[in-house]
Amino acid sequence: MRTRDQMLSELRGNTPVIAPSMLKCDFGNLHREMELLDASGAALLHLDVMDGHFVPNLSYGPMVIGGMRGLTRTAFDAHLMISEPQKYLDDYIKVGCEAITVHLEAVPEPTGLLREIRRRGVVAGLAINPGTPISAVESLLSECDLFLVMSVQPGFGGQKFIPEVVSKIRDARSIAGNDLIISVDGGIGKSSIAACSEAGCDVFVAGSSVFDEPCYSAAMAELRQLAMDARTVC
């Protein structure tokens, strides 16, 4: 398992990062999915954890993630779309998650939790929903390593990208500078990735735009190139 410093170095060294969202994978053939993702060279896997309470859907938890951990050495970011995530922090660290992202809407005063995640040697992420303004997290960006902007309502895959969130990415980059890793999740594909990259995004969570394609490697390479081209233009 990577240390926090190793994880941050890998993410920054591989920017732009395409992070496949495991919510869209074939759980009936998980071993094969992991082989394909390893072959694609994925630097990060995005693990959508939903509790049916904070969001109106259920997905999977530590037991399934532990099974995934035994199949790959690729880095894991556990995106906890759950109520009271502080109660389950140990569970996700024990199964090998090198980054843990919690929602401001679930933890309105997240400073203590973010500091504890960092203290445990794990990358600390903070996410906000589309309706939450950047002003709500401005004073918190220095407390996290990764800032996740939701570009759809959390809870389900395959939703349409909300373009208004691009300004949040741009504002977060302006406020926090280049040290903060900024991620975007929801509706990321060929038509939306360039705008997010140009605004300053580093990590692009991609579900349907990877798993619905016949070749994961080719899909991820095309998305990454589009993100790189947008940065070159700007």
- For the chain, list the domains and their CATH numbers: 4-233 (3.20.20.70)
pLDDT over threshold 80, residue 158:
no
- Check the CA dihedral 8-13-18-20 and report its sign: negative
Whether omega for the bond prior to residue 110 falls within 30 degrees of 0, making it cis, is: no
pLDDT tens-digit map of 169-216: 999 999 999 999 999 999 999 999 999 999 999 999 999 999 999 999
Kindly indicate the confidence band of residue 231, based on its pLDDT and cuts at 50, 70 and 90: confident
Residues designated catalytic = 48, 185
| Mean pLDDT in residue range 218-230 | 97
Q: What is the pLDDT of residue 157?
A: 64
pTM: 0.95
pLDDT tens-digit map of 9-41: 999 999 999 999 999 999 999 999 999 999 999
Percent of the chain scored above 90 by pLDDT?
93
Q: What is the pLDDT of residue 232?
A: 73
Distance CA 67, CA 84 (A): 24
Q: Is 102 helix (H, G, I), strand (E, B) or coil?
A: strand
| Mean pLDDT in residue range 105-114 | 97
Neighbour count for residue 208 (Cβ, 10 Å): 17
